[in-house]
Structure 1
């Protein structure tokens, strides 16, 4: 990613403080300094937390008003697990709400062992999302059927929808054996967004421990061993930047402030590195 002329806009994923309702979430994220938020409108599983929003409802109107009052935008809405029996058409109300809130994309995961069926369903979802002006970002996670960057790339190439891209989460990239060099090798336009966090040197063993780390054990950017600056360098210009840092040991307010402060500090280090490299090449 080329050095920005001004501080890049920074979004924060709802998982960072999923206990907050959308109104609380938008308000506290804005006060922490973020420019945009993600919204969990659909659960990752049947028993997971989510906050559906219906266009025309009073709650939806209030959410729109709070977003405007706080000067916040919605980067993405989540989460759609692409299961074998997915009913693509049933997500039209979610996409309607996302578009009405000004969201840019919807995040999905690949959860079907049949690659052909997954590709067909993903293509249908992309077609539906396009009707609402939304991009679809496929997020790979080690414990899912689309678990690596290589698998995500293969699926995106197979579907070949103009509004389909890959979401690179720094933790999932590292824990699935990927590297910034792998990201750099992707064709232009394949990655449109990145989620930043840090992690300890010791990778968890097994899916259960990996899931637990992803949901409760991430570290603030700059406090672990992930090659975040190298990852930023590997991203194309214009990649949307976000942070996902669930850290339940801290109150939500403190968590958001730490997520913002640590990410901004890391971005400043990356910027200085670009400036230093530029001077050395003159």
Structure 2
């Protein structure tokens, strides 16, 4: 059976700069990485890149040497004062690395302005052959897959899609079956991890869990097999598991192996269902 292609989100080992992330992720077994080139919130870690610099060229060489790809770069928060054009350099650097998508969140309570800015981001991204993946999170204005679907449909851009995050899906009260109503064109990437049954109370605790408290797939209670079976077969799968009790190299190996085991379980369950 063909081995699954599994990526790793930068949050899994955010203490690693992109060069180290690429090398260590390749050794762990991953086929692609995500790179955080813009902070998820002011003051948070990130690794800005500029096309044409020696650092950028070195990353291209490293990707080639290790047979790795870049799945996504992150992160853009769609706030009311968003300056879309200011992200052109970020998109150029991402495209130069061969990235497929840029991850964004919806942080504007004005629906019309939010969808307009998302559409304009998609238009700019299209100039670089990039997709814009909208990631709903419980503490943001776009807080579940229903609100994400409404925004994506209103923006109506062919390169606008949903980023499915297993933890955010569960903590927003959504179930995997709800994803079956999405067009396949909007389901291009999923990030997997696990979590305990008890959800945190309040935004601060929810944010802390998302950034620090994720578990390896198989060590919690999230319906991960059902999630993968609800998504297109060709969806890009990445592990997002900042399990800080382990050093980065061990964390990456655990993230890969637990994700590989999960994908195998989902494949076996799908095969069993087809044979009945």
TM-score range, shorter chain: over 0.9
Alignment deviations for residues 111-153 of structure 1 (CA, whole Å, 9 cap, x no partner): 1111111111111110000000000000000000100100000
CA-atom RMSD, angstroms?
0.9
**CA separation in 2, counterparts of 1:275 and 1:32?**
28
Shift of 1:7: 2.4
Alignment-derived partner of residue 66 in structure 1: 62
Q: What SS does structure 2 have at the residue aligned with 1:189?
A: helix
Among 40, 43, 48, which residue is 1:47 paired with?
Answer: 43
Q: What SS does structure 1 have at the residue aligned with 2:184?
A: coil
Among 230, 234, 256, which residue is 2:226 paired with?
Answer: 230
Uncovered stretches (5+) of structure 2, i.e. residues with no partner: none
Alignment-derived partner of residue 14 in structure 2: 18
Among 101, 126, 131, which residue is 2:127 paired with?
Answer: 131
Shift of 1:190: 1.8
Shift of 1:233: 0.8
Among 159, 162, 166, which residue is 2:158 paired with?
Answer: 162
Among 254, 265, 273, which residue is 1:269 paired with?
Answer: 265
**CA separation in 2, counterparts of 1:38 and 1:248?**
18
Q: How many residues align?
A: 276
Q: What SS does structure 1 have at the residue aligned with 2:185?
A: coil
- Preserved CA contact (<8 Å) 2:4 2:260: no
Among 65, 68, 82, which residue is 1:86 paired with?
Answer: 82
Shift of 1:44: 1.0
- Within 5 Å, give how 1:102-251 maps onto structure 2: 102-251=98-247
Shift of 1:189: 1.5
Shift of 1:39: 0.4
TM-score when scaled to structure 2? 0.98
Alignment-derived partner of residue 33 in structure 1: 29
Shift of 1:56: 1.2
Uncovered stretches (5+) of structure 1, i.e. residues with no partner: none
Which consecutive aligned stretches of 4+ in structure 1 deviate over 3 angstroms post-superposition? Answer: none
**CA separation in 2, counterparts of 1:109 and 1:197?**
19
Shift of 1:275: 2.0
Shift of 1:272: 1.4
